[in-house]
Structure 1
Amino acid sequence: NKGDEVAWYADGDNMVRNEYNPSIAYAFDKVFGPATTTRRVYDVAAQHVVSGAMEGINGTVFAYGVTSSGKTHTMHGEQKSPGIIPLAVKDVFSIIQDTPGREFLLRVSYLEIYNEVINDLLDPTGQNLRIREDAQGTYVEGIKEEVVLSPAHALSLIASGEG
């Protein structure tokens, strides 16, 4: 829409090719074209991670890419087209509601890794934090964890971390 040239295009479900030299191609587990909705990306690439996490399996949805490649938009979305984070939060609370025989304790942390430095986005004093490991597993030392009881509370914490 801004008149930028498209240098790469999706060739099927697993390949990206160079627009100017189609012999240059990269294969991935899944490739989404520019018309793909965020909901589709969530359903294919993230929903199983969320449902697995609710069964006790560690999971991560990690957005990586160059500046202005769409990471923030994909993760946050917009009012009419929610991103990965709001879709995941909605699913988490739906799973909790659909599992009345089990108790859940849901905590939210929000961190940024930039140039190999970890910063706590919920606590401005939490800068240059360290990753540690003990008998319980791997964790970020000193990261703020907030207990959340609703989707709105979880999303408001995340929004506060954006500021």
Structure 2
Amino acid sequence: MRGSGVRRAAFGLMARLSAPATAGTDPPVKCPVAPLEFAFLADWYFQADLVFTFSGLDAITKKRYEHIRLATVGNPGLHLPTVLGGLPGVPGLITRYTGRKMEKLDIPPIPEFIEMISDTGAGIYACKAAVDRFELDKDDLIEQVQGITVGEFYDVAAGGQIIYT
């Protein structure tokens, strides 16, 4: 257990929360991060771990995590016909529009979200199978990330809640 990732109440109770990030587009990648941030801000006491899987790897890949675009094709949350989502320029337009809306709501961009979570001492992991599948190595990922296998993830998350997003 990592000492820096543990926050303890005066009475010694602690919970464990793990959240796999399975989507690589802007709002969905924030979904597993937001509950962790809220819990720390609410001064709840727990150890948190965030695991990025297959399509969630973009959020922790150096070349991509500052330039993640919103998926406009097949995204039911947009209420946008699929045919429109595939037109040239639409993903960029929707990404900028959503970014401005999130900025107005004071929701930080992904790099800042990741940094905030890392600063709390939460574990940030990359699924080793996904990293190997995309032929990435440690140098391709942001510095806060450690590789983890599925078995190791379940060991780390043992005894706690796992939130699948």
Same fold (TM over 0.5): no
Q: TM-score range by the shorter chain?
A: under 0.3
Q: TM-score, normalised by structure 2?
A: 0.26
Indicate the structure whose relative CO is greater, using CA pairs within 8 Å and at least 6 residues apart.
Answer: 2
Q: TM-score, normalised by structure 1?
A: 0.26
The structure carrying a bigger helix percent of its residues is: 2
The structure carrying a bigger strand percent of its residues is: 1
Greater radius of gyration (CA): 1
